[in-house]
Amino acid sequence: MVDTKKAPFSLPALPYADNALDPYISSNTIGFHYRKHHNAYVAKLNELIAGTDLADLSLEEVIKKTAGNAEKAGIFNNAAQVWNHTFYWNSLSPKGGGNPSGALGQKIEDSFESYENFIKEFSTAGMTQFGSGWAWLIEENGKLKITKTPNAVNPLSQGQKALLTIDVWEHAYYLDYQNRRNDYLATVLDKLLNWEFAEKNLD
Protein backbone atom coordinates (compact mmCIF):
# COMPACT_ATOMS: atom_id res chain seq x y z
CA MET A 1 0.00 0.00 0.00
CA VAL A 2 1.70 3.18 -1.17
CA ASP A 3 0.18 6.57 -0.39
CA THR A 4 1.78 9.39 -2.38
CA LYS A 5 -0.69 12.10 -1.37
CA LYS A 6 0.69 15.14 0.42
CA ALA A 7 -0.70 17.30 3.23
CA PRO A 8 -3.22 18.33 4.17
CA PHE A 9 -4.19 14.70 4.57
CA SER A 10 -7.79 13.54 4.59
CA LEU A 11 -9.51 10.58 6.18
CA PRO A 12 -9.33 7.75 3.64
CA ALA A 13 -12.66 6.18 2.73
CA LEU A 14 -13.53 2.87 4.35
CA PRO A 15 -13.38 0.03 1.79
CA TYR A 16 -16.84 -1.16 2.92
CA ALA A 17 -19.95 0.09 4.74
CA ASP A 18 -19.91 0.63 8.52
CA ASN A 19 -22.05 -2.48 9.05
CA ALA A 20 -20.26 -4.71 6.53
CA LEU A 21 -18.26 -6.60 9.17
CA ASP A 22 -21.31 -7.46 11.30
CA PRO A 23 -21.68 -9.55 13.39
CA TYR A 24 -17.93 -9.86 13.96
CA ILE A 25 -17.16 -6.14 14.29
CA SER A 26 -20.22 -3.96 14.79
CA SER A 27 -21.12 -0.72 13.07
CA ASN A 28 -20.97 0.84 16.55
CA THR A 29 -17.30 -0.08 16.85
CA ILE A 30 -16.57 1.06 13.30
CA GLY A 31 -18.32 4.35 13.99
CA PHE A 32 -16.16 5.15 16.99
CA HIS A 33 -12.93 3.60 15.72
CA TYR A 34 -12.95 5.00 12.21
CA ARG A 35 -14.95 8.21 12.47
CA LYS A 36 -13.59 9.30 15.88
CA HIS A 37 -10.16 7.76 16.52
CA HIS A 38 -8.83 7.49 12.96
CA ASN A 39 -10.21 10.89 12.02
CA ALA A 40 -8.63 12.47 15.12
CA TYR A 41 -5.18 11.22 14.06
CA VAL A 42 -5.64 12.80 10.64
CA ALA A 43 -6.70 16.15 12.11
CA LYS A 44 -3.86 16.21 14.64
CA LEU A 45 -1.26 15.30 12.02
CA ASN A 46 -2.37 18.14 9.76
CA GLU A 47 -2.20 20.53 12.71
CA LEU A 48 1.32 19.41 13.68
CA ILE A 49 2.90 19.59 10.22
CA ALA A 50 1.20 22.71 8.89
CA GLY A 51 3.82 25.23 7.78
CA THR A 52 6.75 22.80 8.20
CA ASP A 53 8.93 21.11 5.59
CA LEU A 54 7.09 17.86 6.34
CA ALA A 55 3.93 19.28 4.76
CA ASP A 56 5.51 18.72 1.34
CA LEU A 57 6.02 15.00 1.93
CA SER A 58 3.76 11.99 1.43
CA LEU A 59 2.40 10.21 4.50
CA GLU A 60 4.91 7.38 4.14
CA GLU A 61 7.77 9.85 3.80
CA VAL A 62 6.63 11.67 6.96
CA ILE A 63 6.65 8.37 8.85
CA LYS A 64 10.12 7.39 7.67
CA LYS A 65 11.56 10.86 8.30
CA THR A 66 10.25 11.13 11.87
CA ALA A 67 10.70 7.53 13.06
CA GLY A 68 13.03 7.33 16.04
CA ASN A 69 13.23 11.11 16.43
CA ALA A 70 12.13 11.95 19.98
CA GLU A 71 11.62 15.61 19.09
CA LYS A 72 9.09 14.62 16.41
CA ALA A 73 7.40 11.80 18.34
CA GLY A 74 4.01 13.51 18.19
CA ILE A 75 4.18 13.82 14.42
CA PHE A 76 5.37 10.24 14.01
CA ASN A 77 2.68 8.84 16.30
CA ASN A 78 -0.15 10.56 14.45
CA ALA A 79 1.24 9.92 10.96
CA ALA A 80 1.87 6.26 11.73
CA GLN A 81 -1.57 5.84 13.26
CA VAL A 82 -3.19 7.31 10.14
CA TRP A 83 -1.26 4.80 8.03
CA ASN A 84 -1.77 1.88 10.43
CA HIS A 85 -5.52 2.35 10.59
CA THR A 86 -5.88 2.65 6.82
CA PHE A 87 -3.84 -0.55 6.51
CA TYR A 88 -6.00 -2.25 9.15
CA TRP A 89 -9.31 -1.44 7.45
CA ASN A 90 -7.93 -2.92 4.24
CA SER A 91 -6.62 -5.99 6.09
CA LEU A 92 -10.25 -6.87 6.87
CA SER A 93 -12.99 -7.87 4.47
CA PRO A 94 -16.62 -8.95 4.80
CA LYS A 95 -15.65 -11.71 2.36
CA GLY A 96 -12.44 -12.54 4.23
CA GLY A 97 -11.28 -15.52 6.23
CA GLY A 98 -10.45 -19.06 5.23
CA ASN A 99 -7.15 -20.42 4.04
CA PRO A 100 -5.27 -18.48 1.37
CA SER A 101 -4.43 -20.30 -1.85
CA GLY A 102 -1.87 -19.91 -4.59
CA ALA A 103 1.56 -18.39 -4.04
CA LEU A 104 0.60 -16.76 -0.74
CA GLY A 105 -0.81 -19.99 0.66
CA GLN A 106 2.37 -21.82 -0.32
CA LYS A 107 4.53 -19.09 1.20
CA ILE A 108 2.64 -19.41 4.49
CA GLU A 109 3.20 -23.17 4.43
CA ASP A 110 6.90 -22.68 3.73
CA SER A 111 7.35 -19.98 6.37
CA PHE A 112 5.25 -21.41 9.22
CA GLU A 113 5.15 -25.15 8.32
CA SER A 114 1.35 -25.08 8.38
CA TYR A 115 -1.61 -22.71 8.25
CA GLU A 116 -2.48 -23.76 11.81
CA ASN A 117 0.96 -22.67 13.03
CA PHE A 118 0.54 -19.36 11.24
CA ILE A 119 -2.80 -18.71 12.99
CA LYS A 120 -1.35 -19.71 16.36
CA GLU A 121 1.66 -17.42 15.95
CA PHE A 122 -0.45 -14.47 14.76
CA SER A 123 -2.83 -14.89 17.72
CA THR A 124 0.06 -15.18 20.18
CA ALA A 125 1.60 -11.95 18.86
CA GLY A 126 -1.69 -10.13 19.36
CA MET A 127 -2.24 -11.55 22.85
CA THR A 128 1.29 -10.91 24.09
CA GLN A 129 1.52 -7.31 22.88
CA PHE A 130 1.29 -5.62 26.27
CA GLY A 131 -0.98 -2.60 26.23
CA SER A 132 -1.71 -0.88 22.94
CA GLY A 133 -0.21 -1.98 19.65
CA TRP A 134 -0.42 -4.09 16.54
CA ALA A 135 0.21 -7.63 15.28
CA TRP A 136 1.56 -7.88 11.73
CA LEU A 137 2.19 -10.36 8.95
CA ILE A 138 5.29 -9.10 7.15
CA GLU A 139 7.71 -10.18 4.47
CA GLU A 140 11.40 -9.82 5.21
CA ASN A 141 14.26 -11.24 3.18
CA GLY A 142 11.86 -13.35 1.14
CA LYS A 143 10.23 -15.01 4.15
CA LEU A 144 6.95 -14.33 5.90
CA LYS A 145 7.11 -13.47 9.60
CA ILE A 146 4.76 -12.45 12.40
CA THR A 147 5.76 -9.38 14.41
CA LYS A 148 4.17 -7.12 16.99
CA THR A 149 4.74 -3.42 17.62
CA PRO A 150 3.78 -1.09 20.47
CA ASN A 151 1.63 2.01 20.16
CA ALA A 152 2.06 3.54 16.65
CA VAL A 153 5.23 1.72 15.57
CA ASN A 154 4.83 -0.13 12.27
CA PRO A 155 6.89 -2.23 9.83
CA LEU A 156 7.17 0.70 7.43
CA SER A 157 9.24 2.61 9.99
CA GLN A 158 11.51 -0.43 10.38
CA GLY A 159 12.19 -1.08 6.71
CA GLN A 160 9.88 -4.10 6.50
CA LYS A 161 7.03 -4.93 4.10
CA ALA A 162 3.65 -5.28 5.80
CA LEU A 163 1.08 -7.69 4.35
CA LEU A 164 -1.69 -7.67 6.99
CA THR A 165 -2.30 -6.21 10.45
CA ILE A 166 -4.62 -6.61 13.42
CA ASP A 167 -5.18 -3.64 15.69
CA VAL A 168 -4.98 -4.62 19.37
CA TRP A 169 -5.60 -1.19 20.87
CA GLU A 170 -8.62 -1.58 23.14
CA HIS A 171 -10.73 0.81 21.08
CA ALA A 172 -10.55 -1.72 18.22
CA TYR A 173 -12.58 -4.33 20.09
CA TYR A 174 -13.81 -3.22 23.52
CA LEU A 175 -17.36 -2.23 22.53
CA ASP A 176 -17.93 -5.69 21.02
CA TYR A 177 -15.67 -7.98 23.06
CA GLN A 178 -14.99 -6.04 26.28
CA ASN A 179 -11.71 -7.43 27.70
CA ARG A 180 -11.80 -10.62 25.58
CA ARG A 181 -8.96 -9.76 23.21
CA ASN A 182 -8.47 -13.46 22.51
CA ASP A 183 -12.03 -13.78 21.16
CA TYR A 184 -11.57 -10.71 18.97
CA LEU A 185 -8.31 -12.09 17.57
CA ALA A 186 -9.79 -15.52 16.92
CA THR A 187 -12.73 -13.97 15.08
CA VAL A 188 -10.59 -11.70 12.90
CA LEU A 189 -8.20 -14.54 12.05
CA ASP A 190 -11.03 -16.94 11.20
CA LYS A 191 -13.58 -14.68 9.53
CA LEU A 192 -12.15 -11.38 8.31
CA LEU A 193 -8.56 -11.52 7.01
CA ASN A 194 -8.39 -10.00 3.53
CA TRP A 195 -6.14 -12.35 1.59
CA GLU A 196 -6.54 -10.39 -1.66
CA PHE A 197 -5.04 -7.35 0.06
CA ALA A 198 -2.19 -9.47 1.42
CA GLU A 199 -1.47 -10.85 -2.06
CA LYS A 200 -1.31 -7.35 -3.52
CA ASN A 201 1.15 -6.28 -0.83
CA LEU A 202 3.24 -9.39 -1.42
CA ASP A 203 3.46 -8.62 -5.13
User: Between residues 3 and 59, which one has the greater pLDDT?
Assistant: 59
Instruction: Among 3-7, 37-41, 53-57, 89-93, name the one with the lowest average pLDDT.
Output: 3-7
CATH number at residue 35: 1.10.287.990
Segment 138-160 shows an average pLDDT of 96
pLDDT by residue (tens digit) across 164-186?
999 999 999 999 999 999 999 99
Q: Does residue 97 fall inside a structural domain?
A: no
Cβ atoms within 10 A of the Cβ of 50, count? 11
Domain range enclosing 81: 27-91
- Residue 1 pLDDT grade (very low, low, confident, very high; cuts 50, 70, 90): very low
The whole-angstrom separation of Cα 188 and Cα 6 is: 32
Residues 193 and 131 occupy one common structural domain = yes
Question: Which 8-state DSSP code applies to residue 58?
Answer: B
Residue 202, pLDDT above cutoff 60 = yes
Q: Average per-residue pLDDT in the chain?
A: 96
Question: Which residue, 91, 125, 142, sits at the end of a domain?
Answer: 91
Phi, psi (deg, nearest 5) at residue 134:
-145, 150
User: What pLDDT, on the 0 to 100 scale, is given for residue 3?
Assistant: 53
Question: Which residue, 68, 91, 114, sits at the end of a domain?
Answer: 91
- Residue 2 pLDDT grade (very low, low, confident, very high; cuts 50, 70, 90): very low
The whole-angstrom separation of Cα 62 and Cα 65 is: 5
Domains in the chain, number: 2
Q: Does residue 74 fall inside a structural domain?
A: yes
Q: Find all residues with CB under 8 Å of 167, minimum gap 6, and list them.
A: 84, 85, 88, 134
Query: Cβ distance 93 to 192 under 8 Å?
Result: yes
The amino acid at residue 195 is W
Residue 147: beta bridge partners?
Answer: 136
Residues 125 and 198 occupy one common structural domain = yes
Residues 33 and 118 occupy one common structural domain = no
How are strands ordered across the β-sheet holding 133-140? 143-150, 133-140, 161-167
Q: Does residue 14 fall inside a structural domain?
A: no
Segment 15-28 shows an average pLDDT of 98
Q: Does residue 2 fall inside a structural domain?
A: no
Q: Does residue 55 fall inside a structural domain?
A: yes
Q: Find all residues with CB under 8 Å of 28, minimum gap 6, and list them.
A: 175, 176
Question: Which residue, 91, 113, 128, sits at the end of a domain?
Answer: 91
